[in-house]
Amino acid sequence: MLRRQLMRMLVARGAVALAFGVLALVWPGVTALALALLFGLYALGDGLALLTGSCRREEDGTHRVAHAAGGVLGLAAGLVAIAWPGVTALALVTLIGAWAVTTGVAEIWAAARFRRGPRHQWPLLLAGAASVVAGVLLWARPDVGAVAVARVVGCYALVSGASLLAAAHRLRDAAPAARPACGARHAHHARRV
pLDDT in tens, 77-119: 889 888 887 777 778 788 888 888 988 888 888 777 765 555 5
Q: Cα-Cα-Cα-Cα dihedral of 41, 2, 130, 125, to 10°?
A: 170
The confidence score (pLDDT) of residue 2 equals 64
SS3 readout for 50-115: HHHHHHHCCCCHHHHHHHHHHHHHHHHHHHHHHHCCCCCHHHHHHHHHHHHHHHHHHHHHHHHCCC
| CB 49, CB 9: distance < 8 Å | yes
CA angle 120, 160, 22 (to 5 degrees): 140
Judged by average pLDDT, the poorest of 12-26, 27-41, 75-89 is 27-41
HSE, CB side, 13 Å, CA atoms: give it for residue 80.
17
Q: Which helix (H) or strand (E) holds 176?
A: none
| CB 75, CB 19: distance < 8 Å | no
pLDDT in tens, 131-186: 899 989 888 887 777 778 888 888 888 998 898 898 888 877 765 544 444 445 44
The confidence score (pLDDT) of residue 177 equals 47
N-to-C CA span, the chain: 36
The confidence score (pLDDT) of residue 186 equals 46
Query: Looking at the domain that runs over 2-175, which CATH code has it been given?
Result: 1.25.40
pLDDT in tens, 53-64: 777 655 567 667
With a CB cutoff of 8 Å and minimum separation 6, the contacts of 96 are: 39, 77, 135, 138, 149, 153
Domain boundaries, the chain: 2-175
pTM metric for this prediction? 0.71
Cα 35 to chain centroid, rounded: 19
The confidence score (pLDDT) of residue 132 equals 92
